[in-house]
Amino acid sequence: MCGIVGYIGQKPALPILLEGLKKLEYRGYDSAGVAIIEAGAATVHKSVGRLSNLEQKMDANGSLKGGVIGIGHTRWATHGRPSDFNSHPHTDCTGKFVVIHNGIIENYIQLKEVLQQHGHVFKSQTDTEVIPHLIESYYKGDLVDAVRHVAKMLKGAYALAVMCQDEPDKIVAVKEASPLVIGLGDGENFLASDIPAILKHTRRVIALEEGQMAVLTKDKVTLTTVAGVPLEPKIINVTWDPGQAERGGYAHFMLKEIHEQPKAIRDTLSGRMAEDGSKIVLPELAGFSTDMVRNLHKVSIVACGTASHAGLVGRYLIEKLAGIPVEWDIASEYRYRDPMVDEHTLFVAVSQSGETADTLAAMREARRKGARVMSITNVVGSSIARESDWTVYTWAGPEIAVASTKAYTTQLVAVTLLAMWLGQENGRLDPEEGQAMFAGLRDLPAQAAAVLEQQEEPVKHMAMQIAHTEDVFFIGRNLDYAVSLEGQLKLKEISYIHAEAYAAGELKHGTLALITRGVPVIALNTQPDLLDKTISNIQEVKARDALVLGVAVEGDKDTEKHCEQVFYLPKTHKYLTPVLSVLPLQMLAYYAAIARGADVDKPRNLAKSVTVE
């Protein structure tokens, strides 16, 4: 998500930090800041917007030219809108302790309440700011001890770098579920969230692992667990070129983002399930009262492209779990059908960028007609978020490839949480179903990682087989149909193979004429109540000599009898399968595009954010 850079050595830190942050610009950010210790004082500069704003601010200030220890950060807003105050570094009440952080502190609300009761004054809306205040509370003259103590109190995902103006000879870093690397120099050491930030200075790198802590001085890096057990660092020699380094060693951003999905799913779930497993917690829906939920006559989900496919999954789930009728519309069509909307309608816009013009226009129309307006978006402070009464954020981090992958799976998580929450509030969510889904949600990140690992090679092999065909069909029923839509879009947008998704039962109403010998048909069959029905549809295409590839759940031995090959998913709750079943389809699209020599990250004629109607 955000970018971290740190330096300790003998050279002026500021240019090294700024240059490092520039190397991380490709990740996307909305504000930036640096802190340097110079002449016994820690000075912080931050600015909303581009790094150039920060540089201008500092030039005007003319300070910080001599400090040889510092940390810098680019922020992608999560908790709190993009602003100077919410940018990092954050400080405690005294200004002695300076912290930069990537990730999400799940228990920050509880920690903040206690700190405020003890007189700590907060300057930002961020989760991060609890950290310097906690360090201030526990500091007894040893920064390493204080950070160790505080790290044990934090729940969630974090990569931290901390400095103390009274100990200007060290930077303390901790990693838990957010990337952090240490760069080793001669009389100097570096720290960064991504290798490109420090590649110019060193290729000798230590990639911190979960629960590890590093203390950097100019001459040494000491590695321990957070509990203090000494560790032998594993030094890697980075041989990547700078472009590869930006992609974390992956050939394309799309592939990197496909593999980031387990983390993105975990982050999006983070802090949204009560620890005792009793309910979904969506603090961002404060003010949306139980009465309001009970009085809803309908939900209207509106979006474009991939986001609309996630919205369709939302439609099925809200109807199943909360028993509220749901309309689902493509945003560019919505206004032109004169939708019937009033104050008993909950309008939900789904948009990764939060800037899609059609979605924004549809949202304005719904508001004009009196709907309550909610959004699901990935970009804090985006137009769609600003114009919504409530926003449920996906924590996918910046998505750079034009083809959405991690934005989609996190949108699936968000619509699932919303459906469960609505069902909880109106009392229609069956408690047993709720519990089963809860357990399933907890397992999802690990299961997604397992699918990516186990299916990548078989999918690659299959991609070679379909890469040179002209048409591919995707079929499925119900939730599987919704995922089929996303599978076909992924394939055609990056590989330029013509692809179409059909509700499996619809094929015989005309489309079967297009199924001839060898035409690939990808059949999703993950819904236990519909297995046999979909198998009948598979048989229809099989009878026309189609090449059938299945996506099914472990334990289903029937689907494979009718398929050339089946990609198996681990068992999960039937309503959670979309998050897993889309993964082989994303990889199939990716590897088919590679086999055809297409420019995966920048498909022709497509833009990442479509801000014209």
Segment contacting ligand M6R by CB under 6 A, of 206-214, 291-299, 346-354, 517-525? 346-354
Q: Which of 565, 548, 553 lies closest to 528 in space, CA to CA?
A: 553
128 binds ligand M6R (CB under 6 A): no
Measure the CA–CA gap between 3 and 358, rounded to whole angstroms.
Answer: 31
Pairing mode of beta strands 345-351, 372-377: parallel
Q: Which of residues 59-78 bind ligand M6R (CB under 6 A)?
A: none
Placement of tokens 């069902």 in the chain: 423
Least distance in Å: CB of 306 to ligand M6R? Answer: 3
- Using CB under 6 A as the criterion, what x/- string covers residues 545-574 for binding ligand M6R? ------------------------------
Instruction: Select which of 57, 279, 460, 608 is catalytic.
Output: 608
Pick the catalytic residue from 2, 164, 304, 563: 2
Query: Are residues 266 and 157 in contact, defined by beta-carbon separation less than 8 angstroms?
Result: yes
- Does residue 402 belong to the site contacting ligand M6R (CB under 6 A)? yes
d(CA 146, CA 134): 8
Give the shortest CB-519-to-ligand M6R separation in angstroms: 24
Q: Is there binding between residue 360 and ligand M6R (CB under 6 A)?
A: no
User: Could you say whether residue 403 binds ligand M6R (CB under 6 A)?
Assistant: yes
Quote the CA–CA distance of 520 and 276 in Å, as a whole number.
46
Which residue among 43, 404, 478, 534 contacts ligand M6R (CB under 6 A)? Answer: 404
| Distance of closest approach, residue 359 Cβ to ligand M6R, in angstroms | 5
Say which amino acid occupies 499. A
- Residues in binding contact with ligand M6R, number by CB under 6 A: 15
- What residues have CB less than 8 Å from 187, skipping those under 6 apart? 9, 10, 218, 219
601 contacts ligand M6R (rule: CB under 6 A)? no
Pick one of 74, 189, 359, 526: the residue that binds ligand M6R (CB under 6 A): 359
> What character string, x for contact with ligand M6R (CB under 6 A) and - otherwise, covers 266-305?
--------------------------------------xx
* Structural tokens at position 177: 């579920």
Q: Which is nearer to ligand M6R, 402 or 541 (CB)?
A: 402
Bridge partners of 376, per DSSP, are 350, 392
d(CA 582, CA 451): 10
Nearer to ligand M6R, 43 or 332 (CB): 332
CB under 6 A: which stretch of 209-217, 398-406, 524-532, 578-586 binds ligand M6R?
398-406
Q: Given the rule CB under 6 A, which of 101-109, 351-359, 475-483, 527-535 is the region that contacts ligand M6R?
A: 351-359
Q: Which two tokens stand for residue 235?
A: 């030094």
DSSP designation for 340 = -
Interface with ligand M6R (CB under 6 A), residue from 351, 375, 424, 534:
351
Q: Which range, of 204-212, 350-358, 412-420, 448-456, touches ligand M6R by CB under 6 A?
A: 350-358
493 touches ligand M6R by CB under 6 A = yes
Which tokens sit at 140? 């007894």
Q: Which of 58, 77, 307, 376 binds ligand M6R (CB under 6 A)?
A: 307
Alpha-carbon distance 27 to 29, whole Å? 7
Q: How far apart are CA 167 and CA 515, in angstroms?
A: 72
Tell me if 499 contacts ligand M6R by CB under 6 A: no
Known catalytic residue: 2?
Answer: yes
Cα distances (Å, whole numbers) of residue 69 to 60, 174, 237, 518: 21, 17, 24, 63
Does a cis peptide bond (omega within 30 degrees of 0) precede residue 132? no
Handedness of CA 274, 583, 197, 32 (dihedral sign): negative
Tokens of 470: 């002209």
Question: Residue 484 and residue 475: Cα distance in Å, rounded?
Answer: 6
Residues within the interface to ligand M6R (CB under 6 A): 304-307, 351-353, 356, 359, 402-404, 493, 609-610
What are the catalytic residues?
A: 2, 608
